[in-house]
């Protein structure tokens, strides 16, 4: 009997060791198709296209810290696992990617592995970039090689144990990542496929607009159904066809206007989306913006998601909050947003049916009321109107009443907000 138990224990121990080792070996040694690079006949045109693609992917957004050198890395990316720091992608040979070649760059985008073979952390959105074509990857690399070389050593990530053990990414990759270029859907138009390619690939929209599981992977089956951007404490709304919180009631032209200019008759871009529009989307040509809008408008609602149950206080308390909120709205908001929350587009967005107001999470509405903000300055809206910060004037109780009011008037039916929720976001950095 004792020998049998020892044999069983030994077998189990061997499995515990062998299975992870096999996963690591599989991920480390698996064949990586580097694709076939197309010979370049017009180098200048390739670089110009690469510059455009860098805009489409907003590479400068993550690879440039505030006040730092463009593309030289070092921007902190906070996650629940710790803080990661973006890498230097200027052509410095010692600290950047100057010693890389086009195959190395393709490996990073398509396979999520560095030049030396190390697994890259998925804060670098290679699960989206894997859809980028080899020709586009080569053009992007050609452009990056023309940038001024900046000698800035990459900063070590500050991740907690065991997340700082890169080999464990082998298990993550086995569960959540499979390389694969975008394949056109023959049933759809060329315009739709172009939009899908940009949204799914370089645009990496799912990185923010899809909820993540406990291991930081986007939730399968909930693509673009909305989710918290945990590292920034903002909520990215659904981009699917949901008529309540998504794009189901949007006109395609209004969505295109928001992507291109940051403002539209349906709302304005604030927070992280304002940066995306300002640094990336405003520079895309109208045809690509229209393609993205058409693709997004085609997405069906997430029928698998259960309807959110909005928290409601007792009737007497709800009436008190609505009365106080209406009074505060009349004092602070009515001149710009109107007596029925109708706004005056494009300067003052409507509040009725506004995604930022009625989203399942009230965080965006709370942060905008407390901190104010501006849509991005774009060629289509060079002098945006700003929202003043009311945080210094309002107590937590008053801010909660105001946000609760705008979430539950003019046809809005969202949850009430508590003073503790307001207090939570008073101390959260703006970015």
Range of lowest pLDDT (17-26, 72-81, 383-392, 414-423) = 17-26
- Print the domain residue range for 361: 315-426
The average pLDDT across 352-372 equals: 92
Is the pLDDT at 24 greater than 50? The verdict is no
One domain for residues 337 and 234: no
| Token representation of residue 372 | 């104010």
One domain for residues 22 and 75: yes
Do the domain assignments include residue 103? Answer: yes
pLDDT band at 293 (very low <50, low <70, confident <90, very high): very high
- Quote the pLDDT of residue 370: 96
Separation of alpha carbons 216 and 77, rounded Å: 13
Q: What is the mean pLDDT of the chain?
A: 89
The CATH number covering residue 269 comes to: 1.10.760
Percent of the chain whose pLDDT exceeds 90: 76
Do the domain assignments include residue 374? Answer: yes
- Total domains in the chain come to 3
The CATH number covering residue 390 comes to: 1.10.760.10
The average pLDDT across 304-313 equals: 63
Is the pLDDT at 3 greater than 50? The verdict is yes
The maximal CA–CA distance of the chain, rounded, in angstroms, is 84
One domain for residues 83 and 58: yes
One domain for residues 72 and 45: yes
Do the domain assignments include residue 270? Answer: yes
pLDDT in tens, 243-279: 888 899 999 999 999 999 999 999 999 999 999 999 9
List alpha helices for 210-285, DSSP H. Answer: 252-261, 271-279
One domain for residues 41 and 69: yes
pLDDT in tens, 94-124: 999 999 999 999 999 999 999 999 999 999 9
One domain for residues 204 and 234: yes
Do the domain assignments include residue 319? Answer: yes
The average pLDDT across 189-209 equals: 97
Separation of alpha carbons 54 and 263, rounded Å: 23
Residue 199 · residue 296 · CB < 8 Å = yes
One domain for residues 171 and 132: yes
Helix (H, G, I), strand (E, B) or coil at 14: helix
pLDDT band at 365 (very low <50, low <70, confident <90, very high): very high
- The verdict on whether omega for the bond into residue 291 sits within 30 degrees of 0, i.e. cis, is no
Q: Which residues pair with 212 in a beta bridge?
A: 218
Last residue of a domain, one of 241, 268, 298: 298
pLDDT in tens, 381-409: 999 998 999 999 999 999 999 999 999 99
One domain for residues 133 and 229: no
């Amino acid at each position: 009997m004792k020998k049998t138990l020892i044999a069983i224990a030994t077998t189990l121990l061997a499995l515990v060791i062998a299975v992870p080792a096999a996963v690591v070996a599989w991920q480390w040694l698996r064949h990586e198709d580097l694709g076939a690079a197309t010979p370049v006949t017009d180098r200048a045109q390739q670089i110009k296209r690469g510059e455009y693609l860098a805009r489409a992917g907003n590479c400068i957004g993550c690879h440039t810290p505030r006040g730092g050198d463009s593309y030289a890395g070092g921007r902190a990316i906070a996650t629940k696992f710790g803080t990661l720091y973006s890498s230097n992608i200027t052509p410095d040979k010692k600290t950047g990617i100057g010693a890389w070649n086009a195959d190395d760059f393709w490996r990073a985008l398509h396979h999520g592995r560095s030049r030396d073979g190390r697994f890259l952390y998925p804060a670098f959105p290679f699960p989206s970039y894997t859809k980028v074509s080899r020709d586009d990857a080569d053009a992007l690399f050609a452009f990056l090689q023309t940038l001024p070389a900046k000698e800035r050593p990459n900063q070590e990530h500050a991740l907690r144990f065991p997340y700082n053990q890169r080999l464990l990414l082998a298990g993550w990759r086995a569960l959540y990542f499979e390389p694969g270029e975008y394949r056109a859907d023959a049933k759809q138009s060329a315009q739709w496929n172009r939009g899908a390619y940009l949204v799914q690939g370089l645009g990496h929209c799912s990185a923010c607009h899809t909820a993540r599981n406990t291991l930081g992977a986007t939730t399968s089956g909930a693509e673009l159904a909305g989710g918290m951007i945990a590292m920034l404490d903002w909520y990215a709304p659904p981009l699917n066809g949901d008529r309540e919180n998504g794009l189901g009631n949007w006109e395609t032209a209004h969505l295109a206007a928001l992507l291109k200019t940051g403002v539209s008759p349906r709302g304005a871009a604030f927070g992280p989306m304002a940066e995306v529009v300002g640094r990336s989307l405003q520079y895309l040509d109208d045809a690509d913006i229209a393609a993205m809008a058409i693709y997004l408008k085609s997405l069906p609602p997430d029928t698998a998601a259960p309807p959110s149950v909005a928290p409601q206080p007792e009737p007497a308390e709800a009436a008190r909050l609505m009365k106080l909120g209406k009074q505060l709205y009349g004092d602070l908001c009515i001149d710009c947003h109107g007596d029925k929350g109708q706004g005056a587009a494009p300067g003052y967005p409507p509040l009725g049916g506004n995604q930022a107001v009625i989203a399942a999470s009230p965080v965006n509405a709370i942060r905008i009321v407390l901190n104010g903000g501006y849509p991005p300055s774009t060629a289509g809206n060079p002098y945006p109107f700003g929202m003043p910060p009311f945080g210094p004037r309002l107590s937590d109780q008053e801010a909660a009443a105001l946000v609760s009011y705008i979430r539950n008037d003019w046809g809005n039916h969202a949850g009430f907000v508590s003073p503790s929720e307001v207090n939570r976001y008073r101390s959260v950095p703006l970015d």
